[in-house]
A and B are shown apart, each in its own frame.
Chain A
Amino acid sequence: MYVNGVTLKNRGIPDSHRLSVYESTGGYQALRKIFSEQVTPEQVIAEMKTSALRGRGGAGFPTGLKWSFMPKGVSGTKYLLCNADEGEPGTCKDRDIMRYEPHRLIEGMIIGAYAMGARAGYIFIRGEFIEPIRRVEAALEEAYAAGFLGERILGQDFSFDLYVYRGAGAYICGEETALMEALEGKKGQPRFKPPFPASYGLYGRPTTINNVETFASVPDIIVHGGQWFLELGKANNGGTKIFSVTGHVQRPGNYEVPMGTPFPELLEMAGGLRPGRSLKAVIPGGTSTAMLAGDTMMDCTMDYDSIAKAGSALGAGSVIVIDDSVCIVRVVERIARFYMHESCGQCTPCREGMGWLWRVMHRIENGQGRAQDIELLLNVGSRIEGRTICALADGGVAPVVSSIKLFREEYEHHIRHGQCLVGQRRAA
């Protein structure tokens, strides 16, 4: 089993966040290779396409294709952004890349800037990530001092400046256009698309934005080739991916495994379930993805296509494992509160609907559910889904609808008896 082989390669090495350690393990060789072998921006993008690297922030959009959307030959500044807002409940992978491999991220961004002709970049880091922010800032200083950033990088006719921006604690700022609004100093709320960032992004300029893990995958793709990366995973799902396994496992943590790894193997890596417990459900990609039944999950492999086929999404790879000790109603009530709190408020269905969903969930969880409440939840959900600017609302509806589909009897028990089915079983 190939574990932690690409973006968290150096995690176990002391001082892996320092430039010297990174360089001693082959760091910045990709960048040097581009300059020494005179790799053109087009070749870089072609290599990215070959690698089948898909966006690691959650949407899984092919990175090479995204990079090819950046207009060429336009005058003025183009921007490259890194989404390090990592707000999806259950996700903690970008944090570890920034803590242990900040230079891998920076090198990936420099290569991206080279490929797309970006002059300036920002790393938008979740404000609570104090240690990762310090590490990335220190790494930027090292990179500037070593000539990897700034004017005429490594003496070439290529300049790129990179800055860190601290987020102020809104989940929605992980949405790419909301992130741009926030970077511009405005209230973080998503923009309507089109226009897409590639034509109208930060400050109205062509902009590309990728996740931390996506950028961190880039150096190895350049060094070893897109084909190598593709073959690490499976067709259309190239490379390795970090899964943040949390919940009821004995060794929660970040596991970087090849795309297509069977879920049971990942579960085993994470120490398996607690003794005597059975797998009830899994949220495979963070709380905004639909819940899957434990049995369904055991038949899945960890890649975009397999999870999508099972009716959910791989998302950012935040696998939340739920065993049979858990009341699903309670879990979903908590998730619904999160989405109510994090809705930016601009679109009517999300602003009004998220609170409505939570209030009904709250009622059911507290033994005051009404007979029609399940239908009401499904009905309200159906009027929110797909009717807003961004996907936050869809993400807020998914756990409610999917959990009703899977565990309807728990909801019914709550409503009928005013108490929890799981708790009773536990007591029995």
Chain B
Amino acid sequence: MPHIEIDGRELDVAAGTTILEAARQLGIYIPVFCYHPKLSIAANCRMCLVDVEKQWKPLPACATPCADGMKIQTRSAKAKAAQQGVLEFLLINHPLDCPVCDQGGECPLQDITMGYANPHSFYQEEKRVVADKDIGPLIATEMTRCIQCTRCVRFGQEIAGVMELGVVGRGEKEAISTYVSKAVSSELSGNMIDLCPVGALTSKPFRYKARSWELKHTPSLCPHCSTGCNTDVQSLGKDVLRVLPRANESVNEEWICDKGRFAYAGLSAEDRGLTPLLRVNGRLQAASWGEALQAAAGGLESVVRKHGPEAIAALISPESSNEELFLFQALFRALGVTHIEHRLRQTDFRADAAMPLYPALNMSLEDLERERTILLCHAFPREQQPLTNHRLRKAALAGATIYAIDTVLRPFNFPVQGLCPETGDDLGTYRRLEELLQGATARAEEGALARLATALRETEDPLLLIGNDALQHPQAAELLRAIQGVATAAGARLGWLANAGNAAGAWLLGCVPHRRPGGETVPGQRTPSWSTAHKAFVLYGVEPEYDSLAVEAAQQALQEAEFVLALGHFTGNLPEQVQVFLPLASWAESAGSFINNEGRLQSYRAAVKPAGEARPGWKVLRVLADHLGVAGLAFNDLDEVQSAWQGALGDFPLDVPAFAAFPELAPEAAAPLPEGHLRLLGDWTIYTADPLVRRAAPLRRPAVCRMHPQDLQARGLGSVIELRRAGRPVVTLPVQADASVPRGCLWLPLGTAESVALGGLQSSCTVGRASSRQAI
């Protein structure tokens, strides 16, 4: 262990420790620009030069390993001269436009200049000007301010896994660029804004909105996926102005994805529900809370009277807080409602009895990095859980082999051995894999599958992760059972990638028809959510057409409903059958808690006041309970709700069996496709996944469907196609040739106006060349 001395203080450090790390251990500050603990060491900014005894040159603290006996001075005349010199060089071509720069106030260059620079400069030449680049709707560039630290470039290569920014040119013409002009599209790109130590890369949606010191910081959580990233919601007055990551090494390290960072823009969408609404003469009109609550209670009561409480379907978004989820099910169970559900993206519920207590990763996110062999079963965490995906990427970079079986091969940002089954044979692939694991002889054409079987067999304790696509699969029950078969045959551990922000909470707190909080089974037969047997619907944070897999069924069921009550944040996509709308405070406007994929309970506070007359969900549910005459839910504050759900749930394990016993599954033959039809596949994209993110203008991307290039060619299709299904309007969409889509299929982005028009993922459609380039 090298023994060193920094500024007269002695210290033993581990071999390989750099001077900078050692100094940080002692609490000695050394200024840096290019150094970042999560990135490789570039040692190019030279800001951290320190004076090392017996070295004529000052050495960069970030890159120099401590050697035994080293004596380091960080503030000697030599060190100071070096630091002043570097700062002057950095500043001669820096525009010094701090008053109009968004980085002002949170700018390392500004701060370090104040602390370390010589106030006089001798530079009298002209300053350099660098042309700006348009790199998309998220990151504003002012490249003249760039100090070429290359943090953004290294972030792209090392963390995001896609090299979208690079260094071009040399000497003083060196510049950060996309080389060929293009938008930066990585789902982690916003982190470059945080990493940029100057105002070269700033947030475009936040641009000129406020100075950083004016903002109120509220520790919060990201509600958009099951990773549960910790965030810092920054607001001014009643507006959330930006969301930044809050460091938590065990969850999101210090990153968040662009969905979590920019979705706040949707909070101020034009269709934000600001007042309760009542349908009068066929039109929704503003009403008082009193009137609306009364109408809501009255509507539900009348359906209960006429058809019994079983005729009500209570549907809640899995992005709701634990408090909302618990109260929601408590309220409707008290009314006698049996159909309480959060799973609108699933159509096959035959395996319900086998489902776990909650979709648990069954390990910590950090441990994911240390896995050696992982099989992703119908999972695409890169878009669905971006920061969980980052852990998988780290595992891959550390040498793990990662396999993926999915209906469509997805573009991962790390090496994945992908297996895309023959069209429609996802199930067969898992079953065959199980057979191979049990010793069956592989056929010649099964090379990839056989290699996977060998890898699983040869790895001690491999890991299988089940993703969203498995639950969304039309044969989800059989698929899950087949996955379990593979896991058993391979001696593998199973984990779930929970498919929504608080899916774990929704399961644990009983927002499924067959389980109460804590997992106690509710006996009885189930009808699908979107069944015409349901005469009333309660939609909590849910947009039926945009959030359901079975859009057509949803439309039909709503059509025949007698009463529809919607509670939510937005009014734009409300079905026309909604009679009462109650506006809810968003996650940023209320307090609550989520349970993430690991089973980690985390809570958040309200950052701003609710918009308009919107109210926190737990309060609305509590008052609705009063109106419905439901006793026992008269909570006075959030803490009481929290104690109530924690009391009902009790302690829950972090490690739960991935499956209970499967029920008998009657074989279902897939209906053959009509001649000339394409099978419809699809998924919610990262930026269409929930109502809030769909409304975030900076994240809006054009909907594009995808087909195999040979199918496109064989059908003589151009870049825009028409999609036709019987009884639906013709949908026009741009199409992208994508060899990862199986032949005979069409991949449709869900949660879009186009997918709604087409009726969601209903078995098949026909396609034709679009007559003109127009949207639907």
Contact = CB atoms under 8 A, between A and B. Distances in A.
On whether the two chains bind one another, the answer is: yes
Interface of A: 170, 172, 187, 189, 192, 194, 340-349, 351-356, 359-360, 372, 376, 379-380, 383-384, 386-389
A343 B58 contact: no
A305 to B, nearest CB: 19
Contact of A356 (B42, B60, B125): B125
A341 B44 CA distance: 18
A356 B92 contact: yes
Contact of A349 (B85, B123, B150): B85
Given A356-B123, A386-B57, A387-B86, A349 B171 contact: no
B90 interface: yes
Contacts of A383: 81-82, 84-86, 88-89
A254 B101 CA distance: 57
B171 A345 contact: yes
Contact of B41 (A172, A192, A341, A380): A192
Given A192-B41, A348-B90, A343 B170 contact: yes
A356 B147 CA distance: 16
20 contacts: A187-B166, A189-B170, A343-B172, A344-B170, A344-B174, A345-B148, A346-B44, A347-B44, A348-B44, A348-B46, A349-B85, A351-B89, A351-B148, A351-B171, A351-B174, A354-B171, A356-B123, A356-B125, A383-B81, A386-B58
A342 B169 CA distance: 10
B147 A348 contact: yes
Contacts of A348: 44-47, 86, 89-90, 147-148
Contacts of B89: 348-349, 351-353, 356, 383
Given A355-B172, A356-B92, A387-B85, 4 more contacts: A345-B170, A346-B44, A383-B82, A387-B82
B122 interface: yes
Interface of B is mostly: loop
B43 interface: yes
B173 interface: yes
A345 B123 CA distance: 19
B49 A346 contact: no
Contacts of B81: 383
A355 B93 CA distance: 11
B44 A387 contact: no
Interface of B: 41-47, 49, 56-58, 60, 63, 65, 81-82, 84-86, 88-90, 92-93, 122-123, 125, 147-148, 150, 166-167, 169-174
A353 B171 CA distance: 10
Please name the 9 residue pairs, one residue from A and one from B, whose CB atoms are nearest each other, closest first: A345-B174, A383-B85, A352-B89, A343-B171, A386-B57, A346-B44, A192-B43, A355-B172, A359-B125
Contacts of A170: 170
B399 to A, nearest CB: 14
A103 B42 CA distance: 39
A346 B42 contact: yes
Most chain A CB neighbours (cut-off 10 Å) among B82, B85, B125: B85
Contacts of A379: 122
Contacts of B85: 349, 383-384, 387
Nearest to B91: A352
Contacts of B122: 372, 376, 379-380
Contacts of A344: 170-171, 174
B82 A345 contact: no
A14 B166 CA distance: 49
Contact of B46 (A172, A194, A388): A388
Nearest to A187: B167
A324 to B, nearest CB: 32
Nearest to B57: A386
A373 B184 CA distance: 44
Contacts of A376: 122
A352 B174 contact: no
A359 B125 CA distance: 7
B93 A352 contact: yes
B543 to A, nearest CB: 47
Contact of A340 (B43, B93, B171): B171
